[in-house]
Amino acid sequence: MSSKPEPLAAAFIHHLTHERRLSPLTADSYARDIRLLLSHLHKDDLAQVQSPHIRQVIAQLHGKGLSGRSLARMLSAWRSFYRYLIRSHGYQHNPCIGLRVPKSPQKLPNALSPDETVRLLTFSADHILTARDSAMFELFYSSGLRLAELAQLKLAAVDFAEGTVRVRGKGGKERIVPVGDFALQALKAWLDQRAQIVKPDVTALFLSQRGDAISTRTISHRLKGRARQQGINQNVHPHILRHSFASHLLQSSGDLRAVQEMLGHAHITSTQVYTHLDFQHLTKIYDIAHPRAKKRN
């Protein structure tokens, strides 16, 4: 039974990538969490690790300012790592079972207002790259995609006749999401120009200026730059469009299950955070509109 940490960690990441077929971004996230665990354990034999050792690592990381949410994600990765060691390398116990992380106050995801969203998305697409950006951002908001999902889309993913996009999400799960008219129009305008820069055999829907598949970093950079140009004074990161999609859709429809399906959440609890955003929206309206809501000066 091998017990050296680094080879076992590498074998686990290989298992995630080639057997479970997790996305490269997800596998990288697991790898970072496992490396962090190993750097704090100071153990040459992972079979010797007990629950108090894991609990001490959690306490150290919490003391450095890591949130409960980050620690919960890490603990989940460590637990999966040890499940793999038990199944594939003859380990006898999982020291991460039964442990809990300190709770942190729930931080609501930021979302743009509908007016801010319109301002962000309304710009002149008079160049091949701005046409691409318009199509990316419109589709991002129209269909509530994750950043990695957007970057990995293929040409064949969009069905213009049905007005849908086929998305491969976490764990390789596919879902079909509606695409709005504004996004479809922007996509058609981009596809009219895409052929000018695409390299041979590249099937990615969105391209870099060199003609190969666009990176998530480029999408983030272009979105932040566009937000500054449009005069939006907050941190507009890629997922803010996904959050805005969910918040605005829930405010309009109230259909939590439908929003869950479109976001690709495995559990309804992941979607329920947007009910808090919705409630904030309703309380603001109530405070402004109801004659007996607050005392007026």
* Residue of 222, 226, 242, 243 with catalytic role: 242
Q: Number of folded domains in the chain?
A: 2
In the set 84, 91, 141, 274, the catalytic residue is 274
Q: Which pLDDT does position 160 carry in this prediction?
A: 94
Contact 141, 177 (CB under 8 A): no
Q: Which residue out of 170, 175, 224, 281 is catalytically annotated?
A: 170
* Residue 146 bears catalytic tag: yes
Provide the pLDDT for residue 238. 84
Residue 109, amino acid:
P
Domain boundary residue among 32, 56, 89? 89
Domain assignment of residue 104, yes or no? no
pLDDT recorded at residue 143: 83
Residues 226 and 119 in one domain: yes
CATH code at position 48 = 1.10.150
The one-character DSSP state at 37 is: H
**pLDDT given at position 111:** 78
Contact 153, 167 (CB under 8 A): yes
Asked if 72 and 140 sit in the same domain, the reply is no
Amino acid symbol at 117: T
Alpha-helical regions (H) of 195-294: 216-229, 239-253, 256-263, 268-289
Q: Are residues 213 and 171 in the same domain?
A: yes
Name which of 154, 150, 109, 133 is nearest 221 in CA terms: 133
- 3-class DSSP assignment, residue 213: strand
- Burial, 138: exposed, middle or buried (Cβ in 10 Å; 0-12, 13-18, 19+)? buried
Active site residue 239: yes
pLDDT of residue 62: 86
Q: CA-to-CA distance for 17 and 27, rounded, in angstroms?
A: 6
Q: Are residues 27 and 83 in the same domain?
A: yes
Query: What is the reported pLDDT for 205?
Result: 97
Q: Contact at 8 Å (CB) between 13 and 30? A: yes
Q: Are residues 24 and 128 in the same domain?
A: no
Residues 128 and 241 both lie in one domain: yes
Identify the pLDDT of residue 112.
83
- Residue 193 is part of a domain; what is its CATH number? 1.10.443.10
Containing structural domain, residue 122: 114-287
Indicate if 154 belongs to the active site.
no
| Total-model pTM | 0.58
Residue ranges in the chain modelled with pLDDT below 50: 1, 271, 277-279, 281-283, 285-286, 290, 292, 296-297
Q: Out of 146, 194, 243, 248, which one is annotated catalytic? A: 146
pLDDT of residue 95: 94
Whether residue 134 sits in one domain with residue 33:
no
In contact, 117 and 142? CB cutoff 8 Å: no
242: annotated active-site residue: yes
Contact 239, 220 (CB under 8 A): no
Give the model's pLDDT for residue 294.
Answer: 56
Do 10 and 122 lie in a common domain? no
User: Could you tell me if residue 193 is inside a domain?
Assistant: yes
Phi-psi region of 42 (alpha: psi -120 to 50; beta: other; left: phi over 0): left
Whole-number pLDDT of residue 252: 61
Contact yes or no for 94/100 (Cβ under 8 A): no
Q: What angle do CA 137, 139, 208 make, to 5 degrees?
A: 60
Q: Which residues, 6+ apart, have CB-to-CB distance to 236 below 8 Å?
A: 112, 120, 223, 224, 226, 227
Start-to-end C-alpha separation, the chain: 75
Which pLDDT value is given to residue 296? 47
Q: Is 42 a catalytic residue?
A: no
